[in-house]
Amino acid sequence: MATGQKLMRAVRVFEFGGPEVLKLQSDVAVPIPKDFQVLIKVHACGVNPVETYIRSGTYSRKPLLPYTPGSDVAGVIEAVGDNVSAFKKGDRVFTTSTISGGYAEYALAADHTVYKLPEKLDFRQGAAIGVPYFTAYRALIHRRIARRGEDIPDHGNSMGMVGIAACQIARAYGLKVLGTAGTEEGQKIVLQNGAHEVFNHREVNYIDKIKKFVGEKGIDVIIEMLANVNLSKDLNLLSYGGRVMVVGNRGTIEINP
């Protein structure tokens, strides 16, 4: 460590495992931005399910140990590296992909993954944009899976922010949105965030209720958050030419194509 280098607090992972492997340290060196990089003073950090999979060692991508988790942060630019022209110290920003990890007081990010945070959004909202909203927007819009006027159910959307984001974006895009949730509170959340109708996916006959609601035509688009449980059901709900976009999956499933 260089003499006089600034130190910070950060969560470090030295071995893969459960939450107990997360270690808070107060002697971590503050990273220095290089070309096309910025240093963000972190005000809020998103905690996403994928980070728990990575930490457990069960994810397809494994970082080199030790590492600091966290991809989505919002904060203020502390310093910029060479060849950075879009940002300056003091800018309010959010990023979708840190280099050094977001569970820290400062985080390094490539400038092309950083965006100005609108004044109407606070830092907590900014830290919730990256994985949830970019994922939902990519599924619905970038992949051109959804078209105005279609029916779109979102399986398990009260379980996480990607589902909530998909509800909001789909409703704003003019789609007829059907949601699912497993609790009364979850169903209220889904309705509050844009769904026209919500079904309890813990009920044995909820698929039949969805079929009755949409009629013979079927469903045009399904955003699937738990494919290993729902994909076979999804295929039976689709309209002619309907599409399933798999966002989440936690295991294998056998289907008859």
Question: 129, 155, 184: which is the final residue of a domain?
Answer: 129
Residues 119 and 16 in one domain: yes
Amino acid at 146: A
**Is there a contact between 16 and 42 (Cβ–Cβ < 8 Å)?**
no
pLDDT value of position 5: 82
Q: How far is CA 94 from CA 111, 114, 173, in A?
A: 11, 6, 24
**Is there a contact between 167 and 195 (Cβ–Cβ < 8 Å)?**
yes
Query: How far apart are the C-alpha atoms of 97 and 136, rounded to whole Å?
Result: 16
- pLDDT band at 145; cut points 50, 70, 90: low
DSSP letter (8 states) at residue 125: H
Q: Cite the beta strand spans of the chain per DSSP E.
A: 7-13, 22-29, 37-45, 73-80, 92-95, 106-110, 114-116, 151-155, 176-181, 197-200, 219-224, 238-246
Please tell me the total count of domains within the chain.
Answer: 2
Residues 118 and 147 in one domain: no
The overall longest dimension of the chain from CA atoms, in Å, is 72
Q: How far is CA 75 from CA 42, 90, 133, in A?
A: 5, 9, 18
Residues 102 and 153 in one domain: no
Q: Which of 146, 169, 159 is nearest to 244 (CA)?
A: 146
- pLDDT band at 57; cut points 50, 70, 90: very high
Question: Range of 242's domain?
Answer: 143-246
> 181-231 pLDDT, tens per residue?
889 999 999 999 999 999 998 998 999 999 999 888 888 888 888 899 889
Q: What is the mean pLDDT of residues 24-48?
A: 96
Residues 159 and 114 in one domain: no
Residues 191 and 152 in one domain: yes
What is the pTM assigned to this prediction? 0.81
Sheet holding 92-95, edge to edge: 106-110, 37-45, 73-80, 92-95, 114-116
The SS3 call for residue 154 is strand
The SS3 call for residue 195 is coil
Whether residue 111 is contained in a domain is answered as yes
